[in-house]
Structure 1
Amino acid sequence: MASTEQTGHPQRYLIALAVTLSSLVEGLDTSVVNVSIPQMMGSLGVSLDAIAWVSTGYILSNVIIIPLTGWLASLFGRKRYFTGSLVLFTVASFMCGHATTLESLVFWRIVQGIGGGALVATSQAILYEVFPPKEHSRAMAVWGMGIMVGPAMGPVLGGWLTEKLSWPWIFYINIPICILALVMVVFLVPDSKYREKVRKVDFLGLVLLAVGIGACQLLLEDGNKIGWFSSMTGLELGALVVFCLGLFVWRELTFDSPVVDLRIVGNLQFTACCLFTFVQALCTLAIVFVTPLLLLDLMGYTALETGMIMLPVAVGTSLVMFVVGRISHRCNPYALIFIGVSIFLYAMWRYSYFDAQTPREDFTWPLLLRGIGLGMIFVPLNALAVADLPPEKHAAATGLLNLTRQFGASVGVAVAAAVLGAMQGQFESVLVDAASSDSPQLTYIGQRVTALLAGQGILDPTAHYISLTMLDDYTTQQATSTAFQRIFTIFGLALLAALPLVAFMRKNPDRSAPTPSGH
């Protein structure tokens, strides 16, 4: 009779639904806040810099807890830890909605991030155990719908709830989903068969990890504001990151009961998957960060309209994950990654033609293709990540894998903001220099605008001033459009550059099948 390791848990699809719901609300809360920030500022009476801590606090606590999830699951028991984290996330969501001061809102967002960290990494470890290796791609397809669709749906749901109700409802919406997931987890999810009892607690490792990752995240969040390493604050944060994380790595490799098992990085396939995941998250979140700026600032759409325009990304991702999940056992995972990267690159090429005059309907196909490309990459990549690791290492592996994903996202946003600002300034400077020179074309345009205004009864010097203002606005708009277009091209090529990492992913998720030719 076949063991459950070969056939999987009999209720594995219900378990997948339970943990996917948990991952969905965690992913949703990484992006749902952004469109509600103006209303929060007015309601709480705080500045933009202060309200930014509502997002920063959540991400900071989330990224610190993610690499510890495997160790915490061993310390408390995986089911107990996952259930407790879900309860903590639910309570924190309710308290965030009830917050009346910035301090209380930030505090509960930090608590929410602590609970949310387990909902992604631990849920992935659960699926790796309850599904047999040959169905890992299918499990990642189901789980990926939550992890990928949640952030994509955040702006849409956040914009609608804020516009129709009020900002606390972006947190209250989590509660019924969390309660349903909690009931299913309690009755369906088994504890891990591979739990290793924690013999001693590495308090020094915990402190070094928290301080090092926290300082790194703060540097990524505020790097543009403080001038990166040209400022004393940036240098201090950078030195703290290098010192703490360097000492942490040495500590974990020499301590007999580490909080994070860094030895699995020695597995070449797992490391290649982590690096590819880092680049994918960097490119994905950079585009997620830049696209709303294009729609809101350059094109003047509202938050709700922006969310609706971006909806095809979530639709494309969901559809392709559903399809890939059903056919993955018959497909070469390496081919799926290659096709996904190609589709993403083509979508970024289409993105590079977006400007202030682009009709709304022209956004649909490029955004849909972007979602399809990312979905085709996500499913096989996450299945390949643990294909060459023993089951008892899956919990630690998912923590590190999701840490690289979170760091990739943070780096992507920081790089996109820095590059966008630099390019916008560069292109605007070139256009201003051209406008200030004796260009016959610009002189002619200025004369024509002045003449048209004069025909409406607006005479010099008012007409001349208005024509110069219009030219200045046009120059700024063109510089911004060019910067956005270059950004999309850069991040499309960046993901293409990561493709050679696939050559190191030699172990197929279906361990009973021979490795595909060429690997």
Structure 2
Amino acid sequence: METTVSEVEDNHPGYPLSLRVPLTLTAIGATLIETIDSTVVNVGLPKMMGGLDASVDEIAWVITAYSIGNVLMIPMTRFVSDRIGRKKYFTVSILLFTLFSYLCAVSTSLMWVVVFRLLQGVTGAAFFATSQTLLIEAFPKEQIGLANALFAVGISLGPALGPVIGGYLVYHETWPWMFYINVPIGIVLTVMSWRFVPDSPYAIEKEETDFWGILLLLTGVPALQTFLEDGQRFDWFSSPLIRICFLIWIVSLPLFVVRQFFARHPLIDLRVLKNRSLSAGSIGLFLLGTVYFGTLFTVPLMGQSLLGWNPLLTGIVLLPGILGFAFTSMLVGGSMGKLPLFPILLLGVTMVEISLFQLSSISPLVSPDAFFWPLMFRGMGLACLFPPIMTLAMATLPRQMVASGAAIVSMMGQLGGAIGIAVLATLMQRDAQLHRSYLSANLVPSGVTLNERIDRLTTLLAGRGMSWEEARKAAVAMINQSLDGQSLMLTYGNLYVVVGTVALVLILLVFLFEKTPLSHPRRTRTNLLSPQTGGTPEGS
């Protein structure tokens, strides 16, 4: 009889408190430095362009390389962990991540920064799935929800703190400090990992290497990530590079999936997807990745491109919502096993929808304070979704399959974010052009044409002392600025509607998860005590 994470009689009481606390700090700390490092660089790209003498297209590879390494390695975390031991794998990954951070900081050429960022992504991939597995093992069954809430806090605080830290360091120091900051933290986490992280009791030590699976993954994932991240920049299928990447991943990744289902020793055991709750959770994390990273992409971009925010202000505006997420996650995590989870999921979707509705109707003339409640609702709503979905995804898995399940849901969350951002970036460019064309043709309700409007402004400015030529240029610039602002505002409003539609699909997950003591605690407890059930928990 296999023991599942949520089983009523669980023979795994969790680790002693003396081990659980430092292990939790190590797991969350590793997750934090990975998520911070994945976003801290974004605000420093302009400074890096100057320091490394790179163009916009060239410097973008600093971000793309990290994403490729990260998504490439996540599916292989369980395999590598089993082969060399989880303690050794996790510790060495933190140590190498720290080393590559230092090497990024001291690099003087773009090529080496990109190489070390790729290796950073590869080593950082160990943190997500392994940290979640460690937390699930560390806590007793009645606190699995709290473990997943702590993990959710770790993966959500980083993207909010990254822009704040990056903005401060870039403003007060030089760009290498975005990487130097990881070094002391990484050294401390390396020591803690070696001291407290245990090897997995479920490791398969003599597993054969799935070379075909590795080959298909090595070709398919970089091609998919390049296709998603650079497709918009190269105008999608008009670029030979994007067409080649599309052909590579559309062949390699389906073959990889087929291979994993039928291989004797698969690289990542996709057969765990036969578990209904894990499949539902994987879909949920994919959609949540789209909602979470989609709004994390659009809100800062809107603030900086339309409202004139600097990177530091952008991070400060995002911070209250993330703190609301952290606080609500603790409440939700503590309530798991005591309150039904499905109403919490519905509350989360409702709050996210309210947030997106408020964001879609914001005026370009508002102050940063106007974003407080929309982003607070966003954070609290996501906090009602992330921990329950992650918990329910793992709830009916045998403990020896948790590592494979964690790798799958981590990968799905990353892919959801990457695909969501790619789609939103494409829609943003297309909609901005459409809205600008429409506004140009219908500039004012009275039917005054664009040229007539420019003539009136030119006359007005010329009457204030400008030459006719200067007044004409100033009038055109003012009209263009107004059109750009209005078209972008309408575009961002449409993007929030798209993200809101994706969030609505999460409601369907309520009907896909299996009913467990975690999802229906009171109902299950009643069934256990009922003489008619004979003490057998009922799933309905």
Pick the aligned partner of 1:18 from 6, 26, 29: 26
- One-letter amino acid matched to 2:338: R
Once the two structures are TM-superposed, the CA of residue 514 in structure 1 deviates from its matched residue by 6.4
Judging changes above 3 Å, is the alpha-carbon distance between structure 1 residues 207 and 294 closer, same or farther for their aligned structure 2 residues? same
TM-score when normalising by structure 2: 0.91
Find out whether 1:313 has 2:324 as its counterpart: no
- One-letter amino acid matched to 2:98: T
1:179-328 alignment to 2 at 5 Å?
179-328=187-336
Measured in 2, the distance between the counterparts of 1:52 and 1:512 equals 47
Pick the aligned partner of 2:363 from 355, 359, 365: 355
DSSP-derived class of the 2:395 partner: coil
Task: Please identify, of 297-306 and 38-47, the stretch whose mean Cα deviation from structure 2 is larger.
Answer: 297-306
Measured in 2, the distance between the counterparts of 1:3 and 1:404 equals 28
Measured in 2, the distance between the counterparts of 1:209 and 1:130 equals 31
Once the two structures are TM-superposed, the CA of residue 443 in structure 1 deviates from its matched residue by 7.7
Judging changes above 3 Å, is the alpha-carbon distance between structure 1 residues 230 and 444 closer, same or farther for their aligned structure 2 residues? closer
Task: Please identify, of 322-331 and 208-217, the stretch whose mean Cα deviation from structure 2 is larger.
Answer: 322-331
Pick the aligned partner of 1:140 from 120, 139, 148: 148
Task: Please identify, of 179-188 and 383-392, the stretch whose mean Cα deviation from structure 2 is larger.
Answer: 179-188
1:123 alignment partner in structure 2 = 131
Measured in 1, the distance between the counterparts of 2:443 and 2:146 equals 57
Contact 1:4–1:132 (CA under 8 A) maintained in structure 2: no
Measured in 1, the distance between the counterparts of 2:365 and 2:233 equals 31
Judging changes above 3 Å, is the alpha-carbon distance between structure 1 residues 355 and 221 closer, same or farther for their aligned structure 2 residues? same
Contact 1:506–1:515 (CA under 8 A) maintained in structure 2: no
Deviations 1:337-375 (A, max 9, x none): 211111111001110122321122111111122111111
Measured in 2, the distance between the counterparts of 1:268 and 1:468 equals 59
1:29-178 alignment to 2 at 5 Å?
29-178=37-186
1:6 alignment partner in structure 2 = 13
Contact 1:209–1:245 (CA under 8 A) maintained in structure 2: yes
Find out whether 1:484 has 2:472 as its counterpart: no
Judging changes above 3 Å, is the alpha-carbon distance between structure 1 residues 513 and 440 closer, same or farther for their aligned structure 2 residues? closer
Measured in 1, the distance between the counterparts of 2:177 and 2:489 equals 35
1:430 alignment partner in structure 2 = 438
Once the two structures are TM-superposed, the CA of residue 273 in structure 1 deviates from its matched residue by 0.6
Contact 2:340–2:518 (CA under 8 A) maintained in structure 1: no
Deviations 1:213-253 (A, max 9, x none): 11111100111123323444333222211211122122222
TM-score when normalising by structure 1: 0.94
Contact 2:14–2:141 (CA under 8 A) maintained in structure 1: no
Measured in 2, the distance between the counterparts of 1:33 and 1:467 equals 38
Contact 1:313–1:367 (CA under 8 A) maintained in structure 2: yes
- One-letter amino acid matched to 1:410: A
Measured in 2, the distance between the counterparts of 1:509 and 1:227 equals 50
Measured in 2, the distance between the counterparts of 1:110 and 1:54 equals 8
Measured in 1, the distance between the counterparts of 2:15 and 2:518 equals 13
Q: What percent identity do the matched residue pairs reach?
A: 33
Deviations 1:50-99 (A, max 9, x none): 11111111110110000111111111111111111111111111111111
Once the two structures are TM-superposed, the CA of residue 180 in structure 1 deviates from its matched residue by 2.3
Measured in 2, the distance between the counterparts of 1:42 and 1:460 equals 38
* CA RMSD between the two structures: 2.3
Deviations 1:452-501 (A, max 9, x none): 42442236454344333322221121111100111112101211123202
Judging changes above 3 Å, is the alpha-carbon distance between structure 1 residues 372 and 464 closer, same or farther for their aligned structure 2 residues? same
Measured in 1, the distance between the counterparts of 2:82 and 2:118 equals 23
- One-letter amino acid matched to 1:6: P
Measured in 2, the distance between the counterparts of 1:357 and 1:512 equals 46
Measured in 1, the distance between the counterparts of 2:214 and 2:452 equals 67
Task: Please identify, of 331-340 and 482-491, the stretch whose mean Cα deviation from structure 2 is larger.
Answer: 331-340
1:385 alignment partner in structure 2 = 393
Find out whether 1:344 has 2:336 as its counterpart: no
Once the two structures are TM-superposed, the CA of residue 309 in structure 1 deviates from its matched residue by 1.7
Measured in 2, the distance between the counterparts of 1:518 and 1:142 equals 27
Contact 1:269–1:504 (CA under 8 A) maintained in structure 2: yes
Measured in 2, the distance between the counterparts of 1:411 and 1:423 equals 18
Contact 1:133–1:387 (CA under 8 A) maintained in structure 2: no
Task: Please identify, of 105-114 and 353-362, the stretch whose mean Cα deviation from structure 2 is larger.
Answer: 353-362
- One-letter amino acid matched to 1:125: T
Once the two structures are TM-superposed, the CA of residue 450 in structure 1 deviates from its matched residue by 4.1
Contact 2:337–2:521 (CA under 8 A) maintained in structure 1: no
Judging changes above 3 Å, is the alpha-carbon distance between structure 1 residues 194 and 223 closer, same or farther for their aligned structure 2 residues? same
Measured in 1, the distance between the counterparts of 2:172 and 2:384 equals 35
- One-letter amino acid matched to 1:359: S
2:5 alignment partner in structure 1 = none
1:411 alignment partner in structure 2 = 419
Contact 2:338–2:522 (CA under 8 A) maintained in structure 1: no
Contact 2:339–2:520 (CA under 8 A) maintained in structure 1: no
Contact 2:143–2:334 (CA under 8 A) maintained in structure 1: no
Deviations 1:128-169 (A, max 9, x none): 122223211101111221111111111111000111111111
Judging changes above 3 Å, is the alpha-carbon distance between structure 1 residues 450 and 20 closer, same or farther for their aligned structure 2 residues? same
Once the two structures are TM-superposed, the CA of residue 448 in structure 1 deviates from its matched residue by 5.5
